[in-house]
Amino acid sequence: MLKIKNLDATIDNKHILKGLNLNIKPGEVHAIMGPNGSGKSTLANVLSGKNGYETKGDIQFNGENLNELSTEERAQKGIFLAFQYPLEIPGVNTNIFLKTSLNAVRKAKGERELDTLTFLKLIKEKASELGIDEKFLSRQLNVGFSGGEKKKNEILQMKLLEPKLSILDETDSGLDIDALRIVADGVNSYKNKDNAFLIITHYQRLLDYIKPDFIHVLSNGKIVKTGDADLGIQLEKTGYTSLS
Amino acid sequence: MQQFYDFKIEKIKNLSSEEKILRKKNLELFYLNGFPSKKDEDWKFTDLKFILGQNFTNIVNTDLIPKERPYKLINDFEHNFISLVNGKLITKSFDYEEKDKIFISNFDYKNEIISHRENTLNFLNNALAQDGFSLEISKNYKLKKPLVIYNHFSNSLKETIVNNKNSIILNENSELTLINFVDNNSEENFMVNTMEDIKLKKNSSLKKFFINNTKNNAYFYKYLKNDLEKNSNLENYILSSGLKLNKLDIEVNHNEEFSNSCIFSALNLLNSEHQEIKTRINHNAPNCHSYQKIKNVLNNESKGVYQGKIFVKNIAQKTDAYQLSRALILDDKAEFDAKPELEIYADDVKCSHGSTSGSIDLDSIHYLKSRGIPEKEAYQMLINGFLCEVLEKLNENNLKKFLLQKLEDQIHGH
């Protein structure tokens, strides 16, 4: 599904990713761990198509060259990034945002756009699965939401848009145990043999709930070690310094 | 600069000799300095003399007799209406109301006097004004439905100026929602210079909206004088995008205790559109509250201006006055000028002002795009969100829906 070959990324003359390789197949859950400043969020940003990065290397997503696609095209083709810091957007109603987003993706896929009633029924159902109060959906997007509410809202968007590849950028940060479980349940219930996850995290904590098939350690812009789920537990004990 | 205007009192019919003398005097005062220019402090961001000189060859006052034109009524909400052509009252319809509670007529130049002398446009208005309306709401009467004023202009107004005066009086404990709806798609250049006096008696409440429906080549100036008695309430919403030029000069006098005023504006200016909102809020009595929120989105080479002054008299203790202007500047050639001013002579007051301008937040754009929303739509969503916020407090559902739609039309360039 996703094939990254020799990816380099530079921003503001800072060389951050230095020859990163990664292969993700459908049905797999990959976790990327690593110390602060190792390039984890840069990888997420580059995959989402954020402006400002100078990149070299090759990224293929289902056979298409990702570098040639705009951010919105990537989303329409099934790449979803759950933001580390979801943005607050004053004046934009959450429901209207969700509907616009869903219909943009449906339209790009050649599917029928949903009318308001059908949409509201669908969103109500998805929100209740995540324990999100409907009232949130009529508020301004993320404005005044707590950290946990923002992250739940990201998972709601993921479940609504049904992406092929979901990238979770430190979705666990700022979550209490209950919220963490709800978010993890949300991910686990969406997981199937056709979609894949790339989970970026500092801590083993989230991986206790979402079991990864692979754990990669990112250090100084490169993957320096790859292992199975046990690698996370080992890192929790020894720290990252033991690897470098 | 070559003189680009030629005004004649003789074009106005049925004047008494007394009126003629008064009007001539005002015209002379106008001719001393002509149109206001950037040399005048109040006009330093809107150099009207220069702008008109660039866009008109010879402006004259009109002796055209306005005729009714066919027009479409708004059907999004039930309403009473009057229609004006070139400012002249043509039709009136108050089907939802008790007829004897509402007085509406042509402005009576022989008996009513509105004569401000703030600037040369006021002189010009005093000299040339014709038509306009007087509206008065009876004591204790609250209109059941809003009143829409349909403003139309003749196609043949090219290179002319229309001057008129309006008067609105809300007697004690009365209520009115008034929508000033400008519907004109004339490509011809013309100017409108209006003076409007508004009197809010005790416990009365006026909600006013100014909406411009289609893009046009009109140059508008309006001087609004609002006098507020005890416990009265005035709300102004300005959604006038699409006019070539618009300057609103709003004077609000809190003359008695516990009166309340707000001014909200949401403008999305395109091309070389230029709009200025100038306010002077006079807190002449204690315990009054004033609130201003001015929002501009500036595209292309457009220009937005806000000059807001709050004056608090020494006896006006416990005044609560607030003003905020925010601008989104989307183009290098677009401009926003803000001049907030506070002049306070009382010591127990709460007054604050703020002004910010900047470009659109690219991280927010990225966020929306990462959800599959195309870039253009992402921009429009953010602009829409930025501007719609000023309508947030409205609770009239159908009217609010209509206003939000109009605002969206304006954001999409009509």
The per-residue pLDDT for range A111-140, each reduced to its tens digit, is 999 999 999 999 999 999 898 988 899 999
A185: left (phi > 0), else alpha (psi -120 to 50), else beta? alpha
**CA–CA min distance B264, chain A (Å):** 15
Q: What's the rounded Cα separation, in Å, for the pair B6 and B58? A: 7
Which residues, 6 or more positions from A61, have their beta carbon under 8 angstroms from its beta carbon? A1, A2, A69, A74, A77, A78, A79, A165
Identify the residue among A79, A92, A145, A153 best suited for mutation to test binding to B, counting B beta carbons within 10 A and taking the highest: A92
Q: Using CA atoms, how far apart are residues A79 and A73, in angstroms rounded to an integer?
A: 9
CB-based contact B144:B58 (threshold 8 Å): no
The type of residue at B264 is: F
**DSSP 8-state secondary structure symbol assigned to residue B230:** T
Count of other CB atoms within 10 angstroms of residue B405: 11
Q: Looking at the complex, does the CB of residue A55 fall below 8 Å from at least one CB of chain B?
A: no
User: Quick check: helix, strand or coil at residue B391?
Assistant: helix
Neighbours of B110 (CB within 10 A): 10
Q: Is pLDDT of A181 > 80?
A: yes
| Rounded CA separation A42/A39 (Å) | 5
Write down the pLDDT at residue A244: 55
Q: Is pLDDT larger for residue B372 or for residue A239?
A: B372
For residues A45 and A74, the answer to whether their CB atoms sit within 8 Å is no
Q: For a pLDDT cut of 70, what percent of chain A falls above it?
A: 99
Cβ contact, residue pair A104, B377, below 8 Å = yes
**CB–CB contact A92 B385 (8 Å):** yes
Nearest CA in chain B to A49: B370
Query: Hey, are the CB atoms on A100 and B374 less than 8 Å from each other?
Result: no
Q: Read off the pLDDT band of B1 (50, 70, 90).
A: low
Backbone angles phi, psi at A115, to 5 degrees: -80, 170
Inform me whether the C-beta atom of residue A41 falls under 8 Å from chain B C-beta atoms.
no
Q: How deeply is A190 buried, as exposed, middle or buried, from its count of CB atoms within 10 A (0-12, 13-18, 19+)?
A: middle
pLDDT interval class at B176 (50, 70, 90): very high
Whether the model pTM is above 0.80: yes
* Burial of B166 (C-beta count, 10 Å sphere; 0-12/13-18/19+): buried
Cβ-contact B207, B180 below 8 angstroms: no
Q: E strands of B119-184, at which residues?
A: 133-137, 147-152, 160-170, 175-182
Has residue B156 got a pLDDT over 90?
Answer: no
- The continuous run of DSSP H or E covering A210 comes out as none
Quick: pLDDT tens for B209-255. Answer: 999 998 899 999 999 999 999 999 999 999 999 999 999 999 999 99
Instruction: Using an 8 Å CB-CB cutoff, list chain B residues near A108.
Output: 372
CB contact under 8 A, B372 and A83: no
Relative orientation angle of helices A116-129 and A147-161, to the nearest 10 degrees: 120
Assign domain A2-243 to its CATH architecture: 3-Layer(aba) Sandwich (3.40)
Instruction: Check if the beta carbon of residue A139 is closer than 8 Å to that of residue A94.
Output: yes
In the predicted model, what is the mean pLDDT of residues A97-105? 97
A212, A224 Cβ separation under 8 angstroms: no
Taking 80 as the threshold, does the pLDDT of residue B186 lie above it? Answer: no
Taking the Cβ of residue A70 and every Cβ of chain B, the question of whether any pair is shorter than 8 Å is answered with: yes
DSSP string, A83-129: -SSPPPEEEEEHHHHHHHHHHHHHHHTTPPPPPHHHHHHHHHHHHHH
Q: Taking 90 as the threshold, does the pLDDT of residue A153 lie above it?
A: yes
B381 close contact with A: CB closer than 8 A: yes
| Interchain proximity B388–A140, CB inside 8 Å | no
Compute the nearest-CA separation of A182 from chain B (Å). Answer: 22
User: How much is the pLDDT for B282?
Assistant: 98
Q: To the nearest whole number, what is the mean pLDDT of chain A?
A: 92
Name the DSSP class of B389. Answer: G
- Selected residue with higher pLDDT from B43 and A134: B43
For residue B61, the cross-strand partners are: B161
pLDDT of A110 reads 95
Q: Which of B364, B372, B387 sits opposite A104 (nearest CB)?
A: B372
Question: Starting from the edge strand earliest in sequence, which strands make up the sheet with B88-93, in order?
Answer: B88-93, B80-85, B147-152, B175-182, B205-212, B233-239, B260-269, B289-298, B320-329, B350-358
Q: Minimal CA–CA distance to A12: which of A45, A36, A60?
A: A45
For residue B242, give the DSSP letter: T
Nearest to B364 among A80, A89, A108 (CB): A89
| Residue B406 distance to chain A (closest CA, Å) | 16
Both tokens assigned to B367: 């966020």
What pLDDT sits at residue B113?
80
Domain boundaries, chain A: 2-243
Q: Between chains, do B363 and A49 touch, taking CB under 8 Å as contact?
A: no
Tell me: pLDDT of A84 over 80: yes
Side-chain-side CA neighbours of A91 within 13 Å: the count stands at 19
Average model confidence (pLDDT) across chain B: 95
pLDDT given at position B330: 95
Residue of A72, A150, A167 to mutate for B, most B C-beta atoms under 10 A: A72
Any chain A CB within 8 A of the CB of B355? no
Among partner residues B366, B382, B388, which is closest to A50 by beta-carbon distance? B366
**A21 shares contact with chain B (CB less than 8 Å):** no
Q: What is the pLDDT of residues B315-354, one digit of tens each?
A: 999 999 999 999 999 999 999 999 999 999 999 999 999 9
Distance CA B124, CA B8 (A): 11
pLDDT of residue B117: 85
Average pLDDT for A85-95: 93
Q: Percent of chain B, pLDDT > 90?
A: 89
CB contact under 8 Å between B366 and A48, yes or no, is yes
Mean predicted confidence (pLDDT) in B39-58: 95
CA dihedral sign of residues A51, A56, A58, A64: positive
**Contact: B373, A100; criterion CB under 8 Å:** yes
Q: Tell me what percent of the residues of chain B surpass a pLDDT of 70.
A: 100
Judged by CB atoms closer than 8 Å, whether chains meet at B382 and A92 is answered as yes
Q: Is B381 in contact with A86 (Cβ distance < 8 A)?
A: no
Tokens of A15: 């060389």
pLDDT tens-digit profile of A9-51? 999 999 999 999 999 999 999 999 988 889 999 999 999 999 9
Distance separating alpha carbons of residues B129 and B87, to the nearest angstrom = 10
Residue of chain A minimizing CA distance to B386 = A91
pLDDT recorded at residue A232: 82
Interchain contact A167–B (C-beta under 8 A) = no
Which residue shows structure tokens 């005004």? B7
- Given this model, what pLDDT does residue B144 score? 97
Where residue B67 falls among pLDDT bands split at 50, 70, 90? confident
pLDDT reported for residue A231? 86
* Dihedral over alpha carbons B132, B138, B142, B148 (to 10 degrees): -10
Nearest-Cα residue of chain A relative to residue B376 = A72
Average pLDDT over residues B378-391: 93
Sign of the alpha-carbon torsion through A201, A206, A208, A212: negative
Residues in chain A within 8 Å Cβ distance of B297: none
Rounded to an integer, what distance in angstroms lies between the CA atom of residue B237 and that of residue B148?
A: 14
